[in-house]
Amino acid sequence: MHITVHYLTQIRRAAGCASETLDVPTDCTLEVFLHQLTERHDPAFRALLVDDANVIRRSLLFFVGDDHVELSRALRDGEAISILAPMAGG
Amino acid sequence: MNRAYHLCMHSFSLTDDERAIYEWQLWVQGFGEAGQLRLKQATVLITRCGGVGGTLAYYLAAAGVGRLVLAHAGELRSSDLNRQLLMSHAGLGKSRAEQAADRLRAFNPHVEVVPIAENISLDNAERLVAMADLVASCAPLFPERLHLNRYAVAQGKPLVDCAMYEMEAQLTTVMPGRGPCLSCLYPSEPTAWQRQFPVFGAVAGTVGSLGAMEAIKVLAGLGEPLVGRMLLCDLATMAFRTMQLRRDPACAVCAGVQSASRAP
């Protein structure tokens, strides 16, 4: 199935693109999908997404469509994910 | 319409001069003189008063919020002047908080402005939040925002969180007990954030203006504040999205907190 991911803020810079579409297995959860993403990109991107123990960072926000979701969320064909590295610019 | 946040009622009224200044906003449906009095009776804590917080403070002064507490340490540097509209070249090397206060007093002498030359820390957050009816969180570091969040939730105060990065901005409103708090969203401190960030003043000012409108709405009981929602703005493409947020039932800060707000 096809999943599109949109990168926001610092994640966009690290990814080098605003969005991309991946082909993933049908039983894929958000967490599995995110780990697949880390394998496609460079260490700077990986460091934003996972910690030293390869655990997805809890300080990131993940949305499917417009809904804030948990890592266990099962993905469905055609869905769009947004990843937000939160901002604090003031 | 949201429920107006409860404020301590005083025997305030508007002077003729105030009615003249605010005449055009008194025409806003659902606002009127009752809404203006709510603003006049309110105290807002703004941390800090740079590109985002300075713009937010400017519009709260314009709207007639009665008392503005500005928490911002340090002296003005040249690199602040692309976005910090309350400052001036003549003020380089001088206190940011004092300059901001002087500008706001000159702009609207009906507003009481309290400059505090401190940034938010664990040592002062409880005391500064206690001074206000509403907190505007505009600091450039997550620890400051999370300290504010902790005490805003503990004291049942609404918090408007405004932030930006490069051409993007985000805005949400925390109403303790009615939606997620910042700790629900960031249970651990975001590690990637750096103190120095790319910024156009117009991006900072955009989210500062939006944050001022959120504060006015919460204080006056207007519209639908961003409780349980986050506005994301991409000024590169002019795409604006409103995302639905989840409250964390196990949140270390707000789990079990019930709403303290009530109808006026």
Q: Do A90 and B162 touch (CB under 8 A)?
A: yes
* Torsion-angle region of B177 (φ positive above 0: left; ψ -120 to 50: alpha; else: beta): left
Please judge whether A90 and B185 are an interchain contact, meaning their C-beta atoms are less than 8 angstroms apart: no
Query: Total domain count for chain B?
Result: 1
8 Å CB contact of B165 and A9: yes
* pLDDT > 90? residue B143: yes
CATH architecture of A2-84: Roll (3.10)
Q: Which residues on chain A are in Cβ contact (under 8 Å) with B48? A: 90
Q: What spatial distance separates the first Cα and last Cα of chain B, rounded to whole Å?
A: 12
DSSP-based three-state secondary structure for B147: helix
Provide the pLDDT for residue B186: 94
Residue-level pLDDT at B1:
40
CB contact under 8 A, A57 and B170: no
Residue of B nearest to A49 (CA): B192
CB atoms within 10 A of CB B82: 12
Q: What is the dihedral of CA B116, B62, B82, B231, to 10 degrees?
A: 100
Q: B25 to chain A nearest CA, in Å?
A: 27
Average pLDDT across chain B, whole number: 93
Residue B144 lies in a domain: yes
User: To the nearest whole percent, how much of chain B has pLDDT over 90?
Assistant: 89
Domain residue extents for chain A? 2-84
Residue in A59, A70, A82 nearest the CB of B188: A59
Closest Cβ opposite residue B48 in set A8, A69, A90: A90
- Does B190 contact A59 at a Cβ distance shorter than 8 Å? yes
Q: Considering chain A, what percentage of its residues have pLDDT values greater than 90?
A: 97
Q: What is the pLDDT of residue B8?
A: 46
The pLDDT, as a whole number, for residue B12 is 72
**A59 vs B162, B189, B204: nearest CB:** B189
B47 min Cα distance to partner chain A (Å)? 9
- Find the mean pLDDT for residues B63-86: 97
User: Can you tell me the distance from the alpha carbon of B109 to that of B179, in angstroms, rounded to the nearest whole number?
Assistant: 36
Which residue in B62, B66, B111, B112 sits closest to B85, CA to CA?
Answer: B62
Q: Using the predicted structure, report yes or no on whether residue B113 has a pLDDT greater than 60.
A: yes
> Is position B257 within any domain?
no
CATH number at residue B65: 3.40.50.720
* Shortest distance, CA A3 to any CA of chain B (angstroms): 19
Contacts of B99 (CB under 8 A, 6+ apart): B76, B86, B87, B88, B91
- Domain of B235 in residue numbering reads as 16-244
pLDDT tier at B260 (50, 70, 90 boundaries)? low
pLDDT surpasses 70 at B237: yes
Q: What is the ipTM of this complex?
A: 0.94
Set of chain A residues whose Cβ sits within 8 Å of the Cβ of B50: 90
Question: How far is B12 from chain A, CA to nearest CA, in Å?
Answer: 33
Mean pLDDT to the nearest integer, A39-49: 94
Q: What local confidence, expressed as pLDDT, does residue B262 receive?
A: 42
Q: What's the gap in Å between the CA of B249 and the closest CA on chain A? A: 13
Confidence (pLDDT) at B264:
32
Element (H, E) at A6: strand A2-8
In a domain, B11, yes or no: no
- Of A13-17, A36-40, B133-137, B258-262, where does mean pLDDT reach its minimum? B258-262
Mean pLDDT within A62-67: 98
Name every chain A residue with its beta carbon within 8 A of the beta carbon of B142.
86, 88
Residue A55 has pLDDT above 60, yes or no: yes
